Amino acid sequence: MKDDRVYLRHIQECIRRIEEDVADGREQFLESHTLQDAVLRNLQTMAESTQRISEDLKETHPDVEWHRIAAFRNVLVHDYLGIDVERIWEIAQRDVPKLKQAVLAILEERNNQSS
């Protein structure tokens, strides 16, 4: 079993890429299939990494909606024809920053425990 920090850092990297891909604003995102595809791919990869985090960590951090993230991953993978890019934009703006803060806090906590 890998250290949860590996997955947390991977989530952090996906978030960085999402932030980069939406940095030029909503109109640019909505007009670019390439940006949309990149954000969708990173959301999917990020959500997959959350599923690999240990149950212990998830139980210790119930403030993160781990089950909602997993359910969202299933939508991205299995219901791709029904994806609304406006909704993806909202998730990138509202939910991704919250997850970023939670992941940063968890990583800091884990790093302090290792010291």
- Domain with residue 67: its CATH number is 1.20.120
Instruction: Answer whether 53's CB lies under 8 Å from 4's CB.
Output: yes
Give the per-residue pLDDT at 1: 52
Give the per-residue pLDDT at 18: 98
Number of domains composing the chain: 1
Give the per-residue pLDDT at 40: 96
Residue 82 has pLDDT above 90, yes or no: no
**61 carries an active-site annotation:** no
Q: Which one of 9, 10, 52, 78 is the catalytic residue?
A: 78
Residue 29 has pLDDT above 70, yes or no: yes
Q: Which one of 16, 73, 87, 94 is the catalytic residue?
A: 73
The CA distance from 100 to 91, in Å, is 12
Give the per-residue pLDDT at 81: 78
Average pLDDT over residues 73-94: 89
**33 carries an active-site annotation:** no
Average pLDDT over residues 95-107: 97
The CA distance from 96 to 19, in Å, is 9
Q: Tell me which residue range forms the domain holding 33.
A: 4-114
Secondary structure of the chain as H, E, C letters: CCCHHHHHHHHHHHHHHHHHHHCCCHHHHHHCHHHHHHHHHHHHHHHHHHHCCCHHHHHHCCCCCHHHHHHHHHHHHHCHHHCCHHHHHHHHHHHHHHHHHHHHHHHHHHHHHHC
Confidence of residue 66 (pLDDT cuts 50, 70, 90): very high
Residue 83 has pLDDT above 80, yes or no: yes
CA–chain centroid gap for 85, Å, is 16
Nearest partner of 71 among 93, 50, 40, 98, judged by Cα: 50
pTM higher than 0.85: yes
